Amino acid sequence: MDLFKAMAEAVIEGDEERTVSLAKEALTKGVPPTEAIEKGFAEGMKEIGRLFDTLEIYLPQVIISADAMTAGVEVFRQHLLGQEEDLPKKTVLLGTIQGDVHDIGKNIVKIMLESNGFKVYDLGRDVPVLNFIEKVKELHPDIVGVSALMTTTMVHMPKLIEALRESGLRANVNIMLGGAPVLPEWAKKIGADGYGASAMEAVRVAKRLAGLQVEEKGEEA
Amino acid sequence: MKDHGTFFDFLEVIRRAESGEGMKEADFDKKLGKKVSALMRQYEIRYHPESVIPSDDGLADRVYQAAVDLFLDLGVYCTDTQRVMLFSKEELTWALEHAPQEVRYGREKEIVSVYPRKVEDPRDPVCFFSAVGTPVPEEMFLPIARSYAQEPLADTFSGPLITSYQGIPVTSGSPVEVEAAIWNTQMLREAARQAGRPHIGIHNFQSTGEKTDATIASAQEKFGAFPGDGLLVAAIAEMKVDFERLKKVAFLRQSPYILGALYGPLMGGYAGGPEGTAIALVAHHFLGLLGFSAERHNSFPIHIHYVCNTTREMLWLISMVGQALARNTHLMIVSNAFMASGPCTEMVIDELCAHSLTSTVSGWHLNPSAVAKNRHPMRCSGMEPRIHAEVGHWVTKMGLSRQEANRIALKLIEGYEKNIPEAPIGKLFHECYRMDQIRPTDEYESLFEKRKKEWREIGLEVI
C-alpha cells in the first residue's frame, strides 16, 4: 500500500508535518491505527535503526525521525481518546543506576525503544534502587532496563535484582542490563534476563523479553 | 600555589550555573546537533576516508572557528540546575590568551615539563602512561600499576581500579569507596617506589574513587599524592557539567595538584559524525578552560558502537582536533588511546601505532592506553603504552610529515579495520607478563619486534 510506504519515508526523512498529515489520511481511509503504525511508521523507524547501526546516519537524525514518528502516532492517540480501544504498548521502566550520572547510552536506548512501539517510563540518572522498586509496584512494567557506566555503580545492579526478589516483584518483570562495564556473562550471573551491548540490540532483547516478534537474534544474558 | 588570575573567575561559573537560561536537557542535546550540522555546512567541513591525517591547514582552522561559534552560541549545560552557562567572545579570548603554557609533573629528577605542541612538532610528546581505570582484583593492582611506572618512556603514570576492597564491593558513595580511594593513592606511590621511580608524577592519582569526597580524602601527601601529581575532571557528556565535577574543580583550584580536564564525546552521538564531533571536541576544550580552570586537557573521543578511537573516522577526528587546537591556541592537549583489541595481539600493536602516529604529528601529547574496549577486567599492561610511546618518539625522530604519516596510517587501518567490531580481547595481565619480574613475556615482546620489522615495509623506519 502506497500510504504505508509514504508513512515510512516520512519517518526516514524526519518530516513531522508529513507524518501528521499521513496519519490523518490513514484515519480518513479507515485504516486501523495499529496497522498504520506497524506497517508504516514502524517500518521507517526500523530502517532508521539499521542506518544508525551501520553509522550511515547519526544520533541527531535518529532523534529527528523519532520526533516525526511521535507526532504522527499522537494523531492516532488523539483519535482513540475516549474510545475503549487504545494503542497496545509494552512498557519499559528505564534508568541509570544509583550513583551514576552518565546517561547518554540510556537515552539512546529510550529513543530506540519508543520508536519501536514501547512505552518508556524514564526515571533518569542516578536512580536509587528503592525508587526502581516503588515504580515497579506503581507502573507494573514488562521490563526494567538499567544502565551503568562505572564499576562503582554497576554493583547496585545485583542489589536491585535482589530487592525485586525480596519484594515479590521479580517473577512479574524482566530485567535488562547495559552499559560500558557490564558484560553479558556478568549480567547472566547476577540473574538478569537480557543484556544489550548497543541500543539496537537492546531493542531486539526487549522485544524478545516482551514476547514480541524478533527478526534478528539478540544477545541473551 | 596556582595563579588564579590566569583563569576565568570560578565563582562566576557557579553564578552562571545558577542563573543561566533554563532549558530542558533534551532540548540542549537537540540544539547541539542542529548547531553542529549548520556549522559543518557553513565552514565546509568534510571528512574524507582516504585522508585520516589531513594536511589542509585551512580545514583545521575552519574546524577551530566552527568550535568557537558553537561554544559561544550553545554554552555549557549544568545538569544539576538545568541551566545553560554562556560565555562571551571576549571572555573566551582572554582565557585562551592567559591559559598556562607549561605544567610540571613529578619531583626531583622525575620532573617533566608539559608544553604546547605544534603540528609536526619535532619535539617528543610527553607520554602519560595510564591503565585508564581497567578493573582489576585488589591483589593485582600493585603489579599492574608497577608495569606502567617502570617503563622508561613513562613521563607520568596512573593506575587501574579495584571493584572490591578487602572483600567488600566498592560502591559509589559508600564509606568503602573512601577507604578504597585512599588505598588506591597509597598503592600507586608504592608502585612508583617498586619501579625505582619514587618521584615520578602520577597524573591521575585516583581512579577507584569517583565521588568528590573519596577523591579529596585520598589527596594527601601522607598517602603519596604530592605537588606535581594531578587529577582529571571530566565533562559528563557532550558540553555538560554537574556539581559533582565542579566540586572537584573547587578543591583542585586550591590544591597543589595539576587539574587536567577530560572530554569523551561519542562519535555518532549528539554531535553527529566525525565532523560534528570534531567541532564539539574542540569546543570542549573551551568548556574545560573556562568552566574547570583546566591546566591541561585530555581527550578520548570514542566510536559510539565500537568504543574505541582507532577507526578511520576516529583517527581523522583526532587529527583534525589536534591540528585545530595546535594551530590556534597554546593549550596543552593530550590524546587518550582507546583500542578495540586487547593485550598481546598483533591487532593491538597496529592500532596503537596508528593512533600514536596520528596524534603525534597532529600536535598532541600521548596518553596510552585503554585496551580491549576498556571493559574487560585484567586486560591491560604497561606494554601497550610502551608500544604507543615508542611510536610517538620514532615519529618525531623521523620528522614525519602529516602526508607521510597519513600514508602509513592508511596501511595500518586497512589491515585491522575489518576486525574492529569483533576485535580479539587478547590476554590477561598475568598471561602476557612474567609475574616474578613484572616484565612482558617473550611472546609479547617478540610479537612487537615482528611488527616493527614489518612496519619498515610500509615506511615506518623503526630505530
Residue A214 has pLDDT above 70, yes or no: no
Q: Is B289 left (phi over 0), alpha (psi -120 to 50) or beta?
A: alpha
Nearest-by-Cβ selection for B375 from A101, A103, A181: A181
Helix residue ranges per DSSP H, B175-265: 175-194, 212-218, 243-253
Q: How confident is the model at residue A217 (pLDDT cuts 50, 70, 90)?
A: very low
If one counts the domains in chain A, the total is: 2
How many angstroms separate the Cα of B302 from the Cα of each of B37, B311, B312, B403?
A: 19, 9, 12, 24
Domain identity same for A99 and A184: yes
In a domain, A35, yes or no: yes
Q: Check: CB of residue B277 under 8 Å from CB of residue B308.
A: no
Do A32 and A133 sit in the same domain of this protein? no
Shared domain for A203 and A94, answered yes or no, is: yes
Is A214 domain-assigned? Answer: no
pLDDT tens digits, B264-283: 999 999 999 999 999 999 99
For position A81, what pLDDT does the model report?
76
User: Can you give the pLDDT at residue A123?
Assistant: 96
Q: Is residue A220 part of a domain?
A: no
- Residue given cell 588506591 in the structure block: B184
User: Using one digit for the tens of pLDDT, what is the confidence trace for A75-131?
Assistant: 998 888 767 566 668 999 999 999 888 888 899 899 889 888 899 999 999 999 999
Q: Which of A152, A154, A155, A182 to mutate to test the interface with B (most CBs of B within 10 A)?
A: A152
Coil, strand or helix at B44: coil
Mean pLDDT for A47-74 is 92
Q: Residue B133: what pLDDT? A: 83
Output the domain CATH number for residue A202: 3.40.50.280
Q: How far is B167 from chain A (nearest CA, A)?
A: 13
Residues in chain B closer than 8 A to A180 (CB atoms):
307, 374-375
Does residue A215 sit within a domain? Answer: no
Q: Same structural domain for residues A36 and A133?
A: no
Say what percent of chain A tops pLDDT 70. Answer: 93
Same domain, A108 and A182: yes
Query: C-alpha cell of A6?
Result: 509514504
d(C-alpha B204, C-alpha B304), whole Å = 25
What are B355's three cell numbers? 593512533
B77: enclosing H helix or E strand: strand B76-78
- pLDDT of the residue at A219: 47
Reported ipTM: the value is: 0.91
Q: Which of A45, A80, A115 is the last residue of a domain?
A: A80
**Model confidence band, residue A59 (pLDDT cutoffs 50, 70, 90):** very high
Same structural domain for residues A48 and A152? Answer: no
| pLDDT given at position A78 | 86
Taking an 8 Å cut-off on Cβ atoms, the answer to whether B307 and A59 are in contact is no
Does the distance separating the beta carbons of B29 and A152 come in below 8 Å? no
Alpha carbon B82 to chain centroid, angstroms: 27
User: What residues of chain B lie within 8 A of the CB of A52, using their CB?
Assistant: 268
What's the pLDDT score for residue A77?
85
Residues of chain B with pLDDT under 70: 1-2, 462-463
How many of the other CB atoms lie within 10 Å of CB of A212? 15
pLDDT of residue A65: 94
Q: Which domain holds residue A27?
A: 2-80
pLDDT at residue A199, rounded to an integer: 85
With CA atoms as reference, the chain B residue closest to A149 would be B375
How would you class A54 by CB atoms within 10 Å of its CB: exposed for 0-12, middle for 13-18, buried for 19 or more?
exposed
Strands B161-162 and B135-136: parallel
Same domain, A201 and A116: yes
Complete domains list, chain B, with CATH = 118-136+231-456 (3.20.20.460)
Contacts of A198 in chain B (CB under 8 A): 305
* A190 contact residues in B (CB cutoff 8 A): none
- Same domain for A99 and A204, yes or no, is yes
